[in-house]
Chain A
């Protein structure tokens, strides 16, 4: 059993409050114990940086320090949280003055950012810590005949300093999907276009154009579903898609849901039954 500190960000609230239990169970089956880092807060969503960048660094120094206090590495299950936290870590590790200033504030809470915990995203955690073989062995309901379009999302590939895979030609998502028994489609026109999640509340038209391109090209290659390791890309695909004038109604999923389903959880507890764009594939 590997134990890792789990950072949940804003993704496991609202209608997704149940998702942490799903994640915990899914990870238990690949011998990983998720310890919820309960006192962590939102990473600032790459938006607090507009207010003040140091605030973003401080929030995330605190988040990381909470994992360090438990002596655990940190697993982040959202591309954007991952990018924001990893960038903060880089800044803190490089800039002693910044570290000192922020640690002075964290002291009040009895916390200290030391730089001892590693930050993982799902994909590098599966590749480097769990191993694909273990995932393959946990599969009880192989996704046989599922044509799954692999969609990474931007913030695990860009910028380079925090990328968890080869940014130009990544493979870690395909490997997980293959281990689940799916037929992977990783060659479609807009696989590298941004999902537009972050512009939905700054310039909505951008989001809708992006979705049109990505989901249109997914449809064209005949995939049953899009799988992404980012809960925000997933929200963009599942929820914002319904804001399109003519939604192509392409089903999507957050990678751990597909894993849960392949590991034997039913459609409800895996989360697959709770999408606005219904997942028909059995």
Chain B
């Protein structure tokens, strides 16, 4: 029978001075949970871990394998064996929570954090009948808005893998934002509660998410916290919470992409943090190295039609921000100053008169020629 070594984290705070790892040889078959049960039944009954349903329902068996968060009852040993090429598998408890014993962690903290986001329905009496004899109907169409989020089983895989939890103590956790969002899009929930949730989400680190997508990767239930966080950010901005850097960043993206088809990294520091120096400093630094710096992106040929599509979608859809046309005009002016023509002319002609580019290509060709071999 094929076997693999598990190096399992052991720690009993009541007895052990420090955590240590203990090795067990287990068969490469079934799931990781089967392997742990194998240890408990055959090798070491003192090993502590949580598991109940054995079928991806209860959410209690999440842990780390070689640093990666996995749900033990969902993870085939064969897959782990192949991923790690037969090397020993280090099994550890989840991150960011206190260890109670071995692989068992204390989940109180993330639960408490989640509660601060009001993850329950605050019924709107205009929608939900106050008379308990009357049904409160939800139509299938409405449920679509939160059909993924309701599957969260509080396994804390995402909380363990989250980059924002790692570096921001206040950060509520991916799942917590998904729970909150689920009620933000529930018609039965009262507007005042929605408003509060947004405020609490902002103070709970809404803008600290780095969008690493690890929460999507580790979630055994297909919840997409990173996307719910984007949705919540959009709601925050729409509700007028526009003073945060993240809201200004969004404005930069919305206006610049419409205006030029691109964002402009040179102007971001100025538009988000009011830092004008950054652009000048950076430009100087690069120019001193002999790098040509383009202050604005080159408008592309299809730009005007692109703008039409952009506007059309925004006119139909719920959005965070309105396009700021005075900003767009300013951007247009920056572009026409660089290309010495108005924006429509540039878009038509830019392909014929790319003098700057030609200069660049020519110089690079020289460089390539001189360096070859």
Contact = CB atoms under 8 A, between A and B. Distances in A.
Query: Which of A10, A13, A155, A235 counts the most chain B CB atoms within 10 A?
Result: A13
B344 interface: no
B264 A14 contact: yes
Contact of B210 (A39, A51, A199, A235): A199
A257 B301 CA distance: 29
Interface string A36-57: 0011111011111111111100
Contact of B214 (A58, A154, A196, A204): A154
Interface in B284-334: 285-286, 289-295, 297-298, 300-303, 305-306, 308-310, 312-314, 317-321
B195 to A, nearest CB: 18
Query: Which of A52, A201, A268 counts the most chain B CB atoms within 10 A?
Result: A201
A163 B212 CA distance: 13
Given A50-B230, A210-B167, A158 B373 contact: no
Interface size range of chain A in the complex: 35 or more
Contacts of A192: 67
A158 B212 CA distance: 7
A253 to B, nearest CB: 15
Q: Is the interface of B mostly helix, strand, loop or mixed?
A: helix
Interface residues of B, number: 90
Nearest to A22: B364
Interface stretch (A126-134, A164-172, A177-185, A215-223): A164-172
Contact of B257 (A48, A154, A163, A196): A48
A108 B307 CA distance: 12
Contact of B298 (A13, A49, A58, A269): A13
B212 A51 contact: no
A157 B83 CA distance: 14
Contacts, number: 224
B309 A203 contact: no
A271 to B, nearest CB: 9
A59 interface: yes
Contacts of A159: 213, 216-217, 224
A202 B213 contact: no
Contacts of B66: 168-169
A159 B166 CA distance: 19
Interface in B253-291: 253-254, 257, 261-266, 268, 272-273, 282-283, 285-286, 289-291
B217 A157 contact: yes
Contacts of A167: 68, 217
Contacts of A44: 253, 257
Contact of A46 (B167, B211, B265, B298): B211
A50 B300 CA distance: 24
Contacts of A204: 245
A266 interface: yes
Contact of B83 (A51, A160, A168, A196): A168
Contacts of A51: 234, 250, 253-254, 314, 319-321
Contact of A206 (B168, B249, B309, B368): B168
Contacts of A48: 253-254, 257
A112 interface: no
A109 interface: yes
A274 interface: yes
A2 interface: no
Contacts of B306: 41, 62, 109
A44 B166 CA distance: 27
Nearest to A170: B83
A55 B314 CA distance: 7
B312 A201 contact: no
B83 to A, nearest CB: 5
Contacts of A62: 306, 309
B266 A14 contact: yes
Given A15-B282, A154-B213, 17 more contacts: A10-B262, A13-B298, A17-B293, A18-B360, A21-B365, A50-B230, A51-B253, A83-B213, A105-B313, A108-B309, A166-B83, A169-B66, A193-B163, A199-B208, A201-B248, A203-B168, A274-B290
Interface of A: 10, 13-15, 17-18, 21-22, 25, 38-42, 44-55, 58-59, 62, 83, 105-106, 108-109, 140, 154-155, 157-160, 163, 166-169, 192-194, 196, 198-199, 201-207, 209-210, 235, 239, 264-266, 268-269, 273-274, 276
16 contacts: A38-B301, A39-B300, A42-B257, A47-B250, A50-B233, A53-B230, A54-B313, A158-B213, A159-B224, A194-B163, A203-B205, A203-B245, A203-B246, A204-B245, A210-B163, A265-B371
**10 tightest CB-CB pairs across the interface, nearest first?**
A41-B261, A202-B246, A159-B216, A266-B371, A158-B217, A269-B367, A158-B213, A201-B249, A194-B212, A15-B286
